[in-house]
Structure 1
Amino acid sequence: MKRIHVAGLLWAVLALAATASAQNSTSQFVIGGETAKKIHNFSTINLATAERIADTCENLARKEGVAISVYILDNEGNHVYMHRMDGQGYLNIVTAEMKARTALLLRAPSKTRMNQVIQNPDSELQQIQIGLFPNSGGLPIIVNDQLIGAIGVGGSAPRVAQGWSDEICAHKAMTEVLGPQPPLVQDLPPRTAANRGNAPVPRFDLAQGVVPRSSLPPEFVVSGKAAANIFDANQISGEAAKKIAQTCRDWAAQKGGTASIYIIDTHGTFVHQERGDGQIYTNIHTAMLKAQTALQTRQPTSIRAAQLRNDPSGNPRQLVQFGFFTNSGGIPIVVDGEMIGAIGVGGGAGGGGDENCAIEGLKAAFGNRVLLPVYPAKSN
């Protein structure tokens, strides 16, 4: 009996040790401590992990000589981290999010539904009806059998035989950051359409060597081949957007808090986004609305916020008819007189103020070349 008792104790100790080890290995990837208590969620991916996965995938793309867009969602479907490399177009960006949402809803790779459509093309409409995007590139982020988020990668042409695709990029990045991952689902050969036509498809490319040009430095805006790809050299660059967000994030941390940050280009397309740990849906969504309002009005949202405090009668028109979000924290990004995007910050930035957080980021990226709101001197 003693042997059984000792063996039982030993098994219990080993089981507890294994459980503790699993918890420890999971804890580094998720929001924990008092922050997790505040949002009642101990199993959602933290910003540091999301950023590492996205950065790793981007570095892999650079080695392949391609550009990608990356979306990482938490286990509730909120944006945690998003970045588009220069030269990415609208479809590259939005489909990355669609892939991530599909993987999150399925708890499985988005390619599983793509394979179903390849085998049965008539099923695609049903997949779309239930909110899925049947395409490769989305993977659930699972650690120790716990779903903590999802990733979607878009924007590059697959070369599976050579070891490259959006999905492979996501898988390799997750392996490097999180450890070994399940093998990828088999790639099925595409099915040729039975009624494929022969209509000539035109080209629409700039002449070789012709690229759009901007008066701004290339580190500020999309340039070179990337600008030629989108026919525009006056969109904020991905690296400038990252610098703004990272500075704002660090500034909020110095104030003892976090922030939600959206940076968009002049077309309203997302360039970079971050959700600080502990931020909830309202913080995240209002940051996006502030960026969009600043872009649409070509003014900081603090201007309308002050105007509406002075004269609340304008609220119905501003909020309902125009769809503006008039809380402080949104600023158009104007450099040397040229608007190249907009930023929105939500969540309070540790009490330092959303607009102040955005301003710190803009100053770090563009110095005295960026246009900032100026307040009248306070009267005594």
Structure 2
Amino acid sequence: MSEVEINLGSRSYRIMIGSSLLDRAGELIAGLPVGRQVLLVTNTTVGPLYAGRVAASLEGAGLTVTVAEVPDGEQYKSLASTELLYERAFSAGLDRRSAVVALGGGVVGDLAGFVAATYMRGVPFVQLPTTLLAQVDSSVGGKVAVNHPRGKNIIGAFYQPSLVIADTDTLSTLNNRELRSGLAEVIKYGIIGDEQFFTWLEQNLPQVLALKPEALAYVIEQSCSNKARVVEEDETEQGARALLNLGHTAGHAIEALAGFGRYTHGEAVAMGTAVATQLGVQLGRLTLAAADRITGLLRRAGLPTTVPAELAGADLVAAMHGDKKTVGGAITFILPVKIGQAVIHPNTAEEHISRAIVAART
């Protein structure tokens, strides 16, 4: 087992990474300053696989568990789902010291975290991420949210967990598409701030795709360490933390226009990264050689790097105006400028974005 510490003063917490950690969830959570009542939030896919084990571990540590399952899918990360979870929390008698525990991927973590942040103005929150994407990205850093028909993650908060438990054994039950989806966020860390990690991924991607335990543990630890450095510098995204949104400006627009669920979050981020890469080349900020390395690694990971023709460029640009980084109607992009470095590019001209989308269609 390895640990990564997120140092945020009174909001500091540990990310625990290793095998068979779900069976230790009870002792680890009981060691936190939490009450005896726990709301365990999962979905209809993950619940049958792991909820029984986690509930048994929690109960073995003297905690009382209420399991709440939501349907699986991005479309259920909604205010309607929060209403259902609030009702379960009230019915179970959760008070201000009771913990909300998220068992699942990014949708479950975001949804449960939003409930934890808003129920009784905030109760303890623990993440048990079961997908690669959640273990390397969405469970870390304290962003919690639900979607609105007009935008992804528009309704949310910054609310740090008390603990993150990443059990690498859960990755063995991921389908190939979900595993590859998580690699979009992994590759992102190399692009924006860790050239050595990017090169390691180029050299060791087959071991990661083959679920070699040592490779997976290294990927998760390095990704979390990279994210930790950024979050510690800028917890509420007033500056440098925006770099973590590489690929997300166009990616969120692609998700919304295509209909949530058609593409995984990682697939949309990969396409969005391709758009940002083309934009960087067109603006003279990124060399063609570096662009080829970025799109090449994404493709080797089995991720899409071409924007579907049926998604009109004008519609995508219009959707980007709803992005949280848009200020005063001006679209902000995160641009890679070399392997291991990205910059925040505010006031990005729509014609430049449109040309980048065209370039990313081939």
Q: Same fold (TM over 0.5)?
A: no
Write 1 or 2 for the structure with the bigger share of helix. Answer: 2
> Which has the higher Rg, Structure 1 or Structure 2?
1
Write 1 or 2 for the structure with the bigger share of strand. Answer: 2
> So what's the TM-score if we normalise by structure 1?
0.28
> So what's the TM-score if we normalise by structure 2?
0.29
